[in-house]
Structure 1
Amino acid sequence: MSDAIRVLSTLALKGAVHGLAGQYQAAGGARIDADFAPTLALLERLRAGEAADVVILTREGLDEITREGRMVAESCVDLARSWVGIAVKAGAAHPDIATEAALRTALLGARSVAYSRLGASGILFARLLEQLGIACDINARAVIIPQGFTAERLVSGDADLAVQQISELKQIGGIEVVGPIPYELQTPAVFSAGRMAATNKPAEADRLLRFLASPEVAPALRESGLEP
């Protein structure tokens, strides 16, 4: 049996988890074996029987699998909030996205916009396009990726703007985060963690959860683009 603790995490926490893994192990914790994907993809994998010790999802996703009996309810903790933002390729002009009208103009003026089909940010953005009345115009030339980091499409030149959680945008080099979509147009995603009911390492899982929810990890969360 591996000594590592298996973590399945939403992409938004990838930077933070990678940054904290060494700190956790140096403090006497187990090695973290982490895999990252959008919440909806992780839900499918968990329901198909994939094993893990700790899972980090959106709060809604965590609540779903808790109701299904896969997660220990009393172990669940909220870790961070995240806002959806917009990025451009490094060196490119930063469009004005400070207001609803400015954002609408910026999106319509882009050659192509990259966003995610499965991620929480992509679901929010698709709804926002409908709300702004520009869904047909934007989607006719959008780059909609099934999963992964939308900002990669800025580096490759496939898109002028990338939309995703700010913590996910910051995972990619060669880009610049313009800022968040206006706060009044979005609800922050809350990312939470819990212990899987079927884990054979409950004590180590709980130790990791206490660490992730502790004040000492707050700087790493902020650095990665999240709000503790």
Structure 2
Amino acid sequence: MRLIGVRALGLVLAGNLLAGGLLFGAAEAAEIKVMNSGGFAAPYKALVPEFEQATHNHLDVAWGPSMGTTHDAIPVRLARGEQADVLIMVAAALDDLVKQGKVVPASRVEIARSYIGMAVKAGAPKPDISTVDGLKRALLAAKSIAYSDSASGVYLSTEGFKRLGIADEIAGKSRMIPATPVGEIVARGEAELGFQQISELMPVAGIELVGPLPPEVQKVTLYAAGISVNAKEPAAAKAFIAYLTSPGVAPTVKRFGLDPITAKP
């Protein structure tokens, strides 16, 4: 096993890592296996090149929902024996994996808060959903509604729509989308309104973000990272998680609709 240590070569990560006071070195470049859910995909893609350049490590990512039973869902991947060093996913789902003995408990770190948003096809009218009444009117008027099979969609289908008092009225025109980004369904015109984490909607072409749900019915989702008990590169994994919570990366995380959680010095 190749171990990453401060004293190995004494490398100092440039830019964001230097700003965060993080020092990492490498005896030999590590191949870090990452499983990542869609909610943290956009900032991950933006941050990886800097980390790889500074450490000479390589991150190999497998994408999948934090929960559910689809083929690519992170719990399903682990259950069939896929190897991972770092897991990035909804905190509650990561906690379940900790309880199952699949994640090192002390490695769990919260990295960002995420908010649910609504999108329409590009060029379509944008309803005002800044208030609960406005959101209810938009849902009742819509011909079709789509939501994800991960944290945001589970919340809406089991709690959010009920809190609005319109669950029965919209049940026949609402559907959960397994695995596929909801924004893509909206962009293809297969749903008039789409709901998912804002960070997952923002990168999708062909849609426009209407805005977040009003505070009264908003559901904040925590994203967390942890190290698999079967990690082949645990020290490199720890370094990468520390990088994700370093102060210098916070502006990038925020740019993609997430509220970054920075580690305390």
TM tier, smaller: over 0.9
CA contact (8 A) 1:39 1:119 kept: yes
CA contact (8 A) 2:37 2:88 kept: yes
Q: 5 Å matches for 1:1-150?
A: 3-40=30-67, 41-116=73-148, 118-126=149-157, 127-150=159-182
After TM superposition, the score normalised by the length of structure 2 is 0.81
CA contact (8 A) 2:86 2:226 kept: yes
In 2, Cα distance between equivalents of 1:3 and 1:203:
10
Residues 183-206 of structure 1: CA deviation (Å, up to 9, x unaligned): 221230000001111111111111
Residues 67-111 of structure 1: CA deviation (Å, up to 9, x unaligned): 222111111111000000101112221101111111110011111
Structure 2 unaligned spans of 5+: 2-28, 68-72, 261-265
Residues 49-79 of structure 1: CA deviation (Å, up to 9, x unaligned): 2210000111111111112221111111110
Q: Percent identity?
A: 39
In 2, Cα distance between equivalents of 1:65 and 1:144:
24
Secondary structure of the residue that 2:173 maps to in structure 1? Answer: coil
1:132 to partner: Cα distance: 2.1
2:230 equivalent in structure 1: 198
Aligned residue pairs: how many? Answer: 227
Residues 108-167 of structure 1: CA deviation (Å, up to 9, x unaligned): 111111111x21010111121122232233231224211221011121111111100000
Q: Partner amino acid for 1:23?
A: E
Q: Partner amino acid for 1:8?
A: M
CA contact (8 A) 1:37 1:148 kept: no
Q: Partner amino acid for 2:154?
A: I
CA contact (8 A) 2:163 2:217 kept: no
2:209 equivalent in structure 1: 177
1:29 to partner: Cα distance: 4.4
Secondary structure of the residue that 1:63 maps to in structure 2? Answer: helix
CA contact (8 A) 1:53 1:201 kept: yes
In 2, Cα distance between equivalents of 1:186 and 1:85:
9
Q: Partner amino acid for 2:199?
A: S
In 1, Cα distance between equivalents of 2:115 and 2:62:
22
CA contact (8 A) 1:124 1:186 kept: no
Q: 5 Å matches for 1:146-225?
A: 146-225=178-257
CA contact (8 A) 1:11 1:148 kept: no
Structure 1 unaligned spans of 5+: none
In 1, Cα distance between equivalents of 2:65 and 2:170:
23
CA contact (8 A) 1:143 1:159 kept: no
Q: Partner amino acid for 1:190?
A: L
